[in-house]
Structure 1
Amino acid sequence: MPTKPTIARIWRGRTRRDRADEYEAYNRMHGVPPLENTALGVQLFREDREEETWFTTISYWADMDAMKEFTGGDATAVHHLDRDPELLIELPKRIEIHRILVDREGLS
């Protein structure tokens, strides 16, 4: 039986609108695959605002130990991609870790 996630790790970053497509492609190529290979699931969201674009990545984990193994020990540390300083307006200083309290599929 597959493991159900108990933890969601949420990262948010923003870029200028004129760099949003470039950052999305970069994040899909370099940010998402390591999570796809390790986490139980991953989602990437994009919100285009008037002058900037926000990206949110949510990865799902079996428990804190699994997340710590992926992050190298500190599950709360922000791990920036190599080009984040160039492409993001500012480097995110924190990530969020949430316990999953309800997990249902097929909501409509």
Structure 2
Amino acid sequence: MIARIWEGKTKLEHLKEYEDFMKIRAIPDYKNTLGFVRLLFLKNTDSKFAYFKLITVWENLEVIKNFAGEDYEKAKYYPEDKNYLIDFPEKVMHFEIFAE
């Protein structure tokens, strides 16, 4: 199995709205993709920003292409992300899961 890790940041005042967007739009998109196994969506806040780490687990690298496209190392964004995110990292990281 492969873990795909994305990191993002939003202003603290957009935290709840962004969480709701992810629950309604993005997470169902992951879950409805062939080869998806599970996800962890992590957050941490300070006085100004909310930081996110999204860890999705997939059967293998080939099925990640079902979600991300042929250039699977490129981060996938939704049009609505521009309303919340401060920056848009171009790449995500992938790790082979060798133990749980």
- Asked if TM exceeds 0.5, the reply is yes
User: Structure 1: which 5+ runs fail to align?
Assistant: 1-5, 104-108
Runs of at least 4 residues of structure 1 off by over 6 A?
Answer: none
C-alpha offsets along residues 1-25 of structure 1, whole Å, 9 cap, x if unaligned? xxxxx10001111000011111111
Shift, 1:69, TM fit: 2.4
Could you tell me how far apart the structure 2 residues matched to 1:28 and 1:92 are? 21
| Structure 1 counterpart of 2:5, from 2, 10, 28 | 10
User: Structure 2: which 5+ runs fail to align?
Assistant: none
Q: If the length of structure 2 is used for normalisation, what is the TM-score? A: 0.90
Could you tell me how far apart the structure 1 residues matched to 2:99 and 2:65 are? 23
Bigger share in strand: 2
How many pairs align? 98
| Structure 2 counterpart of 1:30, from 25, 31, 37 | 25
RMSD: 1.2
| Structure 2 counterpart of 1:55, from 35, 38, 52 | 52
Percent of aligned positions that are identical: 26
Shift, 1:81, TM fit: 1.3
